[in-house]
Amino acid sequence: MTHPPLQFGPWALITGANSGIGAAFADELAARGYNIVLVGRQKTAIAQAARDLIQKHAIQTQEVIVDLSAPDFLRQISDQTSDLDIGLLVSNAGGDAMGALLRIELPKLKQMLRLNTATHLELTHHFGQLFEKRGGGGILLVSSTAGLQGTPFLGNYAGSKAYLINLGMALNYEMRGTGVNVTVLAPGPTKTPGLTDKPAIPLASLPAPQMKPGKVAQIGLKALAENRPFVIAGVMNQLLYFCGNLLGKTTGRNMWGLLLKGIIPKELNIR
């Protein structure tokens, strides 16, 4: 199969590549001719995702099985990919822990904070330096619309995603003229296991638009190709953000607080 020239590449590295938005990025990029490094901690799921990509798109893959919240994760990734010409990083993996902050165990909050902040920082720093030396590349950081305001019952998650927005937008400015594009993608509710596989917390019942992962990935890659510093996935999510700016962050916080309070179990609530 003949593919058009790749803007980045020939290899793309994707974290959390076996499901949800990460899997959508892998499929979209493989369809464009990129070879894919799939990074995650679920060996069986990563292996199956790699087989599916090879069969569907006839590309090359490499699997890196690693816990991204572990202190030495970057060394493992670097050791296993040093011989590949990686030109695109999709730093997508993340986690959440829903409930009132004081009802969630501190070790869990700290592990999630590291995964959602320090992991992205280390990957961005490492591959940013490599891309600068090679004279080009792309870094796509996946944040969330939860990071656009203080989101009750997702306070730690929202704070970590706000960090990612500011990190990426600043780096986009700093990398001007280097040939390295940097974009932060902020999806809203998306039809992924993270949204649907929580029977005790029915997030899918919220009166909010749910986008398909493939569409979210396409929006992110288009923005990266244009070197846009920040993009919110979906017109409705963009409209909600605009209205939130008009009404103020406290109003946005209160709105999401009322919505989420109605689905949070009593044991994860303060009152």
**Is residue 3 domain-resident?**
no
**Is residue 5 domain-resident?**
no
**Is residue 147 domain-resident?**
yes
**Is residue 253 domain-resident?**
yes
pLDDT of residue 1: 47
Domain count, the chain: 1
Residues 6 or more apart in contact with residue 77 via CB below 8 angstroms: 13, 39, 64, 66, 123
Residue 264, domain CATH: 3.40.50.720
pLDDT in single tens digits along all 271 residues of the chain: 455 668 998 999 999 999 999 999 999 999 999 999 999 999 999 999 999 999 999 999 999 999 999 999 999 999 999 999 999 999 999 998 889 999 999 999 999 999 999 999 999 999 999 999 999 999 999 999 999 999 999 999 999 999 999 999 999 999 999 999 999 999 998 887 665 555 566 666 666 678 999 999 999 999 999 999 999 998 888 888 888 778 788 888 898 898 888 888 888 888 7
**Is residue 1 domain-resident?**
no
**Is residue 2 domain-resident?**
no
**Is residue 86 domain-resident?**
yes
**Is residue 214 domain-resident?**
yes
User: For residue 177, what are the domain limits?
Assistant: 11-268
Q: What is the DSSP string of 46-112?
A: HHHHHHHHHHHH---EEEEE--TTSTTHHHHHHHHHTTS-EEEEEE-------S-GGGS-HHHHHHH
Structural contact between residues 41 and 67, judged by C-beta atoms closer than 8 angstroms = yes
Q: Pairing state of beta strands 35-40 and 230-232?
A: unpaired
pLDDT of residue 202: 64
Rama region for 9: left / alpha / beta (φ>0; ψ in -120 to 50; rest) = left
